[in-house]
Amino acid sequence: MLWVKSLHIISIIAWMAGMLYLPRLMVYHADAEKGSTQSETFKIMERRLLKAIMTPAMIASWVFGLWLVFGFQMASFTDIWFLIKFAGVLLLSGMHGFLARQVKDFAKDQNQNSAKFFRMINEVPTLLMVIIVIMVVVKPF
């Protein structure tokens, strides 16, 4: 169980690193001129971050997390703290999907959002992470 828990934590750290970095890249990409060398560099960085780090880490986080729940009964779907944590993970996964869509839009030079929008979006993963960690560690409910 400790190996699975360790792999789950490692996966989450990698996923969160990407979830915090990708919107920051998009802040600068939104200000770059379409077709510029800078914009093309951001496209490569965003695609690689999403495909090589974030998505595999998200999948691993889900696999190891579900393994902990169902394989080792680390939580129950009747625990309020777990339901809130699970909702946070679902929202974080939805945010991942939203960011993946933004990467596709940038790749096609079809981004419609401002740098300010991405600055605000950058706070969402942090807020979700705080909620999730508090639910897991403190278990206030």
Domain ranges of the chain: 2-76+97-121
pLDDT at 73 > cutoff 90: no
8 assigned to a ligand binding site: yes
pLDDT for res 75: 84
**Closest to 42 (Cα-Cα) out of 58, 30, 54:** 30
pLDDT at 45 > cutoff 90: yes
pLDDT at 74 > cutoff 90: no
Digit-coded pLDDT (tens) for 117-137:
999 999 999 999 999 999 999
Digit-coded pLDDT (tens) for 48-61:
999 999 999 999 99
* Distance from the first to the final alpha carbon of the chain: 24
